[in-house]
Amino acid sequence: MITHNNTQVIAEPGKQELFIIREFKAPREKVFKAFTDPDILIKFFAPFGNTMHFNHHDYKSGGSYSWYNKNAEGKIVCTFAGTIHELTAPERVIQTSEFMEMPERGHAVMEAMFFEELENGRTKLTIHDVCFSVADRDAMINSGMEHGLVDIFNQLDALLN
């Protein structure tokens, strides 16, 4: 387990699951909307200075989504797609998520997002991801590091040029 500023990540060794937990100083309806409204998602979801774009979106029970990130040079760096099993506003979303640039299909992740109402208009978000294998789970965590490294290398390139 690690707490990074306000974000808690729990990923026990040898398990196929991980948890991401964070509290927001905003009411549950507002936080829920941010994670299910493409117009808001594109404003905050893309990491490392990338931009987020949707191929399609239909945020409802039985719906689906597909989005990709572009880096500063306009290159597509990753595409994620999935189906939405259940969307119950403002409580939870249960969906699949698959990294589409993997060399093979079949590594979809089951993802649940729970939005819990707290006192003083605060909201607790718990993201619970379950992977098919420990290797898939570890690869997902490594992606944070690999992108982080790519970021560092890009900055280094910029300095050197």
Partner 1 sequence: MKTRRDIFQAIADPTRRAILTLVALQAMTPGAITESFDSARQTISKHIQILTECELLTQQQNGREIYYHLNLNKMKELAEWLAPFAQMWDDRFNRLDDILNN
Nearer to partner 1 among residue 23 and residue 98 (C-beta)? 23
Distance in angstroms (rounded) separating the CA atoms of residues 63 and 93: 11
- Show the site string, 24-43: x = touches partner 1 by CB under 8 A, - = not: xxx---xx--x-----x--x
If residue 158 lies in a helix (H) or strand (E), which one and from where to where?
helix 134-160
Residue among 13 and 103 whose Cβ is closer to partner 1? 13
Task: Pick one of 102, 118, 144, 156: the residue that binds partner 1 (CB under 8 A).
Answer: 144
User: Binder to partner 1 among 145, 158, 159, 160 (CB under 8 A)?
Assistant: 145
Which part of the chain contacts partner 1 (CB under 8 A), choosing from 66-74, 77-85, 96-104, 139-147?
A: 139-147
Residue indicated by tokens 């500063």: 72
Do residues 19 and 113 touch, judged by C-beta distance below 8 A? no
Helices (H) and strands (E) in the chain, counts: 3, 9
Q: How far apart are CA 52 and CA 48, in angstroms?
A: 11
Nearer to partner 1 among residue 55 and residue 142 (C-beta): 142
Question: Of 105 and 121, which CB lies nearer to partner 1 in the complex structure?
Answer: 121
Binding to partner 1 by residue 118, rule CB under 8 A?
no
CA–CA dist 58, 82 (Å, integer)? 11
